[in-house]
Amino acid sequence: MDFLCFLFLLPLCKSIEVIVPDAPVTGTLDKDVILPCSFTPPDGFSLQDLSVFWEITKLQQVHAFTQGQEQLEKQDPQYINRTQLFYGELLKGNMSLLLRKVSLSDEGIYTCFVNVRNSSSAAVSLQVAASYTKPTLQLKSSETLKLGDQVTITCHTYRGYPQAEILWQDASGRNLTENITTSQVANEEGLFHVQSSICVTLETNDTYTCLVYNPILQELTHASLSVTGQHLSFPMVAVWVTVGLCACLLGLFIALACVCRKHLKQTCEEEQEEGVNEEQEENGELKTAMQPLKASEAEGEETSNLE
């Protein structure tokens, strides 16, 4: 009842300046966060003169402090044992609120009210985020894959918030935008499971990278997969055909070598026969030439004897 009276009297009081951040405050899931809020304290006031109230949408009481002590009887059950003011800072005008173990349901707009001789209020926006797990990549393949086939690479990442921004890149860092399918499904906690698939043509060697970006935390995680010819399965029919061709070529080379060897041997034998014949012919001509010479010598000896 006192709090409602306080809200009713706010417009009638001379307001004081309450300072809050312009940008939303980011809280990480399951971690503590501080909602900043401060005012310029008047001279000579005491905690007995100060009233501080924190609320969230629909007038849910998050925390209350009046007459020098906490008033938590009307605190929303969601925030029990999870909120705290910095008492040593209150006289300095710091009425920031500590919120422990942030959950997705804490996301929203919080209003801090202050009353010390006069009153004012301001709103603080809290956004909650959760980091995504490191992505894992899977290649959907079969034993009949060959170069030029279409293959699908799937990227999985879990338990993140809010929805992620997914990007695919090749080995040269070029962004891939075609043949990509992405789905983001929230679990019972509200955290997202992201699955993104890309269809590519199988090359001899290429690397594909899945990048997962959390826009609130500004975190980037990634994973890469190299697709090479080692992923191909070579058909056994082709293996036997290759072996058969190699055997045929080997047999052809052996036959050709035998023919060449036989021809070379025959040529050598013919050359040897020709050499023998030529030698015999030379020997025959030499004998024929020597016979007239012997006859002439015999006649000369006979003439000498007659004289």
* pLDDT over 70 at 54, yes or no: yes
What pLDDT does residue 267 have?
Answer: 72
What confidence tier does 226 reach under pLDDT thresholds 50, 70, 90?
confident
Q: What percent of the chain has pLDDT over 70?
A: 74
Provide the CATH topology of domain 2-129: Immunoglobulin-like (2.60.40)
Q: What percent of the chain has pLDDT over 90?
A: 54
* pLDDT over 80 at 136, yes or no: yes
Is the domain spanning 136-231 CATH 2.60.40.10? The answer is yes
Out of 52-61, 95-104, 182-191, 289-298, least confident range? 289-298
* pLDDT over 50 at 115, yes or no: yes
Q: What is the mean pLDDT of the chain?
A: 82
0.75 exceeded by pTM: no
| Residue predicted with more confidence, 16 or 20 | 20
Closest to 162 (Cα-Cα) out of 129, 193, 134, 187: 129
Q: Span 95-123, mean pLDDT?
A: 95
Which residue ranges does the chain devote to CATH 2.60.40.10? Answer: 2-129, 136-231
